[in-house]
Amino acid sequence: MAGDEQKLCESQIESYGQLLAGFSHDMKNHLSIIRESAGLIADLVEINAAGMDPVLVERFQKTTDLIENRVVVSAGLFHHLSSFAHRLDTPISSFSLSEVVAEMAAFVERPARLRQVKLELKNNADAVLLNSPTLLQFLFYRLYMHCLDQLGQGDTLTLETSGVDGAAVLRMESGGTLLLADFPNEEEAAALSLLGGSLSEEKGIVLKLGSVAA
């Protein structure tokens, strides 16, 4: 890609990140208002419970509990979305592989759930990298879907991060059944090269990353 095209691409990604970060911030504010309102309803019901129909009180309590649970889940997702968006601000930045994997796992849990595949995270201490988080997000997603395509109902996909000799390692494993096969393609290989990473088959698929110069 020519220099001008590269700069334009980076500017576009940065703009998308800023838009997502602003959207995520606003949504978290809306969730806070919903949570406070549900809490107020719960308090009012508790105060006036003696003069209310017990069945109605129970329904109110179940409803406010459900709202609270959904708000907590949604707030967690928007927290990950905010972190994801802020990583788009700069082409090269410092980050922990385990943090990026945890963020991405929140977004890719759905396709695993639809296929009835259990997603499991094992985040061990790993190295802090100076690298491109956006390229890692892209490569992670492609590798994740490649692994998921090899699994079926009842399987478990484990994402394990660790640090080895200053490098960060991500292992995707499911009982030793995962293979690289035709991965990576041309685009994925380019991302892997720019990240200064390597792929291997070792009790699953292993992605190893080090820092690259800014």
User: Which pTM value belongs to this model?
Assistant: 0.78
Determine phi and psi for 153, rounding to 5 degrees.
Answer: -55, 130
Distance CA 143, CA 172 (A): 9
The number of CA neighbours under 13 Å toward the Cβ of 10 is 13
Query: Please, what's the b/e burial string for 125-137 (b: 16 or more CB within 10 A of its CB; e: otherwise)?
Result: ebbebebbbbbbb
CB 113 within 8 A of CB 148: no
pLDDT of residue 214: 43
Q: Tell me the mean pLDDT in the region 172-187.
A: 91
pLDDT of residue 2: 55
Q: Where are the alpha helices (DSSP H) in 48-176?
A: 54-86, 97-114, 133-148
Q: What is the band of 14 on the pLDDT scale with cuts at 50, 70, 90?
A: confident
Cα separation of 57 and 46, whole Å?
Answer: 8
Domain 3-86 identical in fold to domain 93-209? no
Give, in degrees to the nearest 5, the angle at Cα 100 between 94 and 104. 155
- Please calculate the CA angle 64-67-68 and round it to the nearest 5 degrees: 85
Q: Which class in CATH covers the domain with range 93-209? A: alpha beta
pLDDT band at residue 136 under the 50/70/90 scheme: very high
Question: Hey, where are the domains in the chain?
Answer: 3-86, 93-209
- CA–CA separation, 199 and 184 (whole Å): 9
Task: Give the pLDDT score at 166.
Answer: 77
Q: Look at domain 3-86 and name its CATH class.
A: mainly alpha
Q: What is the pLDDT of residues 61-114, one digit of tens each?
A: 999 999 999 999 898 888 888 888 878 777 788 888 998 999 999 889 999 999
**Which candidate, 123, 119, 120, places its Cα nearest to that of 99?**
123
